[in-house]
Amino acid sequence: MRISRMRIITQPLLLLGVIAIIAGCDSKKHQGFLLPAPVISEVRPEAVYYGSTGKIRVNGRNFLSPAAVSFGNVSAPDVTVESSKTMVVTLPLLEPGTYDVTVLIPTFKSVTAPGALRVLFLESPDVTSVQPGDGLTTGGESVDVIGSGFFSGAEVFFGTNAAASVIVKNTTRITVTTPAHEAGVVDVTVRNIDGRQATLAGGFTFIELNIPPTAMLINPSDPSSRVVDLVMTLSDPDNSTADIYVDYSIDAGNTWLTAGEWTGGGPASSGRAALASGACASHTFRWDAFGDLGKLTTTVRLRVIPFDGLDNGAAAETADFTYIAPPILVGVTYDDDTGDGGVSEEDVLVLEFDEPVQLTGGTYGPIVLAGGTGISLPVINDSIGMNACLYDYTPGDTEVALYLGGNPVLKPDGVFDDAVLTMGSPSGFDITYELGDYITGLAVGNAMSLAPVDVAGKTTIAEHLGVLALPGLKISCNAAGTYRVTEADFTSSGIPTGFSSDYLRMFYCGKEVPIEVFDSGDGVWDAGDSLVFYSREYEDYYTDREVYFLVVETGVWGLRVGQVDRTPTGTASAQVDFPRTVRNEGNFNYIGNRPIWDGDPWVGFWLFGSWPDPTLDYDLDLPAVSSSGGNAVVRVGFAGGDRGSLNLPHHAQVFVNGNLYLDLTAPEDFVWFSGQMLWGDPGMWHAYQSGIAESEFPQSEIATGINVVTVRALNTVGWPADVFFINFTEITYNSSYVAYDNSLAFTCARSGDISVTDFVAGDIICWQVTDPDNPLAVTGGVLDGAGTYTFYHSGVNDYLAWSLAATPGPDKIETVIFQDLRDKNNQADYIIITHPDFAGAAATLKAHRESVAGGGYSVKLVNPEAVYNEFDFGRHGPWGIRNFLNYAYHNWQTPRPEFILLVGDATEDCKNGTSATEVSYIPAMKVITQWSAAPCDFPYADVTGTDYKPDYCVGRLPVQHIDNANTIVSKTINYELSANTDTWEKRLLHVSDNADGAGNFPLFNDLLITNYGLPNSPPFTSAHYWVGGNDGDWGTPDQDEANTAKLVNAMNNGALIVTYLGHGMMYAWAYEEIFRDIDVPALTNGDNSSVIIAFNCMNGYFTGADGFIVGIEGLSERFIEHPAGGAVATWSCTGLNYFPDQYVLADRFHYGYFVDGERVLGRITTRAISDLVDTGMWQSVYDIINTYLIFGDPALRIK
């Protein structure tokens, strides 16, 4: 078989498509969250030079401290996890080459980004001159070293003395401070971090000035301080006993100012002062510049002229330092939300400064508001500390708003921006800041001391909501690159045009990013106009689209793409090619139910060793293969298979163009390997174990065009035949700078002119996209008549060159949905999150629930798009939903919401990558149990912490069609409004599987009947049907051996509650399939529909997609969607579970109804789960609470 589907990863090579919550038997829960596997989205920089031991940044998702990072098999010496999305890693010393970057978090989940870091050789340095070429023997003078091949971290030596300060301005200039050195001519040497060095012989001359007494000034250590300490050292070579006189003044700009107050023995005013001296005397003066310089920020010069007693003057010496005036607090206001007349918890405190501030911590902070400022703060209970959260702040604004006390403010991306405000007395308080993950323990009397960090560039909630409230478009892109939005996109979305194009602004994750506008030069956004922007690439389990918001804000000029001059110099770069990866990846088969696969659960074709020709050929079309030599890399991702539980060993071979490069039988044959074996030789690749294998080979073995990667199954075990899946095949190689379809994304790492050939269009644009959130337009580049585009490159940068006319449009453009869900004035007893396709059915249910007959609840309909936009920056996935429900629980008006209904189905194929017809309307989280991966809505219910107990009653209508939604709503309303006849409503139906090693199911069902059904007065009529001949022998009435006809008849006669105990699968009860999904249409119980509770496996699995489970719905779905009867609601399991703990749920459900007298379905089930948790939190309990789900209305009132 030959497969030709592929994509080109132009640069850099990353492991993309790693899902957020996937199979992995070591998954744990942490602080109420399901812990997903980490995901690496980028490593910055992606290339460093040999000898670098500085820091790099790894960005992604789901990071957790403490984390470990390795480069190949070399561990990083230090890792700092700044947030769940970013970490700073100290580099070990690495040899030149390409390294896989692996992140391991405390749950033992890991992710590897193959080839994500490159270590490069530096250019050899060359020193051509030193300017100026001479200086004093005392050193301390600034000189420039000129040459080439200079890199950050370089050292400079004058003779054998190291320069006191080295600043590498660029690859051709270093600014240094000369060391002290004896008089004479010395060599000047530059040594790069890789040890290579260059020397300019006789490059500098040290000169000694032999004049009587001299003075030297040492610059102050803190230029931002108002109070400056100056150390003045006076020397008299002749050891004169005469006094030394100092003539001083302050030079601010070109104006000589009178000095401020001097202390420490200095003179009181400007002029000449006598200072005792000898061979060497040191004097320290303190200068308070506050009174004279005020808010001035300038260069200050102190001039010292030494004299001896005979007035033999010497040349004046000067010392410069920069005086930076800090911001001054000019006002404090607060919103007295509590009405207590003072600053207290739940108030908003606004600090106003006299100039824009940047809360960077290290520059001015922590900010101290002292009593001397004249600000009076009416503090309530000033004897204790008070906490605050950063509430509203834009870097560069003059105001900083803090929310006092209460819960930390949840940012839309799930990250908290925390500030701690410690108030010791009404006279003042200190502020420190920290960015990070969810921080607990913020309570009055328990103030935390947090280190200041940089919050520049972070976006407040208020700003993000302000963006969403503006007229604009939500734009989704599924690949990195440039995209075009036109004026027609606005008009087709109903947004009027004709406004100033300057008012167009684009935002990504709450931060404004630049765009380039093409408006025909008239400054008006009208017909024919367009704009271009650069999009990041994003992918997790739930979505493969990155989201941007394009809005119109009248009166505010938007950010535009900057420029960088790259005019060719005439000297070509030594780099003639760049790394490029072409991948062929399939998404046809789903293996997410295997807890051993630690990556993308969608894989490609399977390969059987029993096939006559057990091979698969993958065509990879490689553009512009370089002829410069070197090696390429073939890389293949495998997912092992098995026949039942036979623990089959695997043997695979990989060929490139017929040449064998990989022979795989053991874990050590893979560069990444995951999964547990059942038994057998641990040195073999077995069963469901999976991995990624790679091999270098000579690049001369591939050529431009189609190259074939062949995978072969050798089937060395005979029968049963070996079977495994191929996730992807790819080749990384060196590609020449040749455009492909008028476009090329590429990397450059060596300075010089770069030429990209084979452009056909004449409107070529090139952007530097090293920082994808701040691209720079390359200017000065030249496109010649042969289609070659040439520009100058320096440093290590990523570029994209393309034809403007061929710029594609985004994958999706839609109007922004905004419901202001963060408004704390919101209140609801019942929240219905409904996809718009089912809004009609949801509105009908809302009207019923708001009526007296329906419970008289206050109900709010919520569009999931508004949730994504307001709580996860527009990304589709469960995190925004959970953030919203967490926020509503803690911040909306009381009474708090109690019921949550999700109206819309979810599927495993969240991104619709297969031919499936199902749509993932409301995503479900994935939970990893000890047996399988399963869809999970429990995280939406548990929002208050780590007690594993639900705070909401959550249910779902897993519908794909409006008819199904209408059916369930109609059945619910009719059930509640129909009169209680005391006939079928007093009947119970119990169905049991035959007893086996998993449990004595008939006996346990008899216990339920005896303990709860019979004690009622009058007793409920309990019918009990079981598989096989074991009835439990408890003497309960109406026992009989089960068959399908009897069960259909019993349900059609009516039963209030149907309880099934036993084994099960998605579509049936028991291995004997005594009741199946195809039997549901025979049910005609109409308005006498039952509440069906099943304590088995998989009946509630509802996320099947056509791509891997064709036409099969879970039995629970079939029960509630059946219009002629079946169930009004079900409570069942979405995965595989352990029966003894399931029985606890069954018992507590019956207790809630029969003993507590509770009639609301959701209250019964949430209490049952809480009771189960109280028995102890072990793995099986964790599995059960995460996999039991109400299908139907959680507010249903059982008769």
Mean pLDDT, residues 611-618 taken together: 88
Distance, CA of 848 to CA of 843 (rounded, Å): 9
161 sits in which H/E element: strand 161-162
Q: How confident is the model at residue 718 (pLDDT cuts 50, 70, 90)?
A: low
pLDDT of residue 640: 85
Mean pLDDT, residues 121-146 taken together: 86
**Class in CATH terms, 970-1191:** alpha beta
Can you name the residues that pair with 528 across neighbouring β-strands? none
Whether the per-residue pLDDT at 789 is higher than 90: the answer is yes
Q: Could you read off the pLDDT of 439-485 as tens digits, one per residue?
A: 221 222 222 222 222 333 445 567 788 889 999 999 999 999 999 99
Whether the per-residue pLDDT at 1041 is higher than 60: the answer is yes
pLDDT of residue 216: 42
DSSP string, 1050-1080: HHHH--SEEEEES-EETTEETTTTSEEGGGG
**Residue 498 gets which letter from DSSP?**
-
Residue that the structure tokens 């695979």 belong to: 652
- What's the CATH number of domain 214-323, 3.30.750, 1.10.3470, 2.60.120, 2.60.40? 2.60.40
988 sits in which H/E element: strand 987-992
pLDDT of residue 1144: 93
Whether the per-residue pLDDT at 578 is higher than 90: the answer is yes
From 191-205, 731-745, 840-854, 864-878, the region with the lowest mean pLDDT: 191-205
For 365, 670, 711, 935, the CA distances from 659, given in Å and listed in that order, are: 63, 19, 11, 43
pLDDT of residue 593: 55
Q: Could you read off the pLDDT of 485-503 as tens digits, one per residue?
A: 999 999 999 999 999 999 9
From 26-40, 402-416, 999-1013, the region with the lowest mean pLDDT: 402-416
From 414-418, 676-680, 707-711, 817-821, the region with the lowest mean pLDDT: 414-418
Q: Quick check: 972 and 983 in contact, CB under 8 A?
A: no
Looking at the structure, give the CATH architecture of the domain made up of residues 577-736. Answer: Sandwich (2.60)
Residue 670 tokens read as 């893979």
Do you know the residue count of the chain?
1199
**Class in CATH terms, 49-120:** mainly beta
Report the SS3 class of residue 1025: strand
pLDDT of residue 35: 47
Could you tell me what percent of the chain has a pLDDT over 90? 45
- Which residue would you say has higher pLDDT here, 109 or 1168? 1168
Mean pLDDT, residues 532-560 taken together: 92
Query: Letter for the amino acid at 411?
Result: K
Distance, CA of 162 to CA of 714 (rounded, Å): 63
pLDDT of residue 290: 37
Whether the per-residue pLDDT at 939 is higher than 70: the answer is yes
pLDDT of residue 696: 94
Distance, CA of 983 to CA of 778 (rounded, Å): 81
Backbone angles phi, psi at 890, to 5 degrees: -95, -20
pLDDT of residue 330: 55
Q: Quick check: 189 and 210 in contact, CB under 8 A?
A: no
Fold annotation for 134-207 = Immunoglobulin-like (2.60.40)
Distance, CA of 290 to CA of 22 (rounded, Å): 60
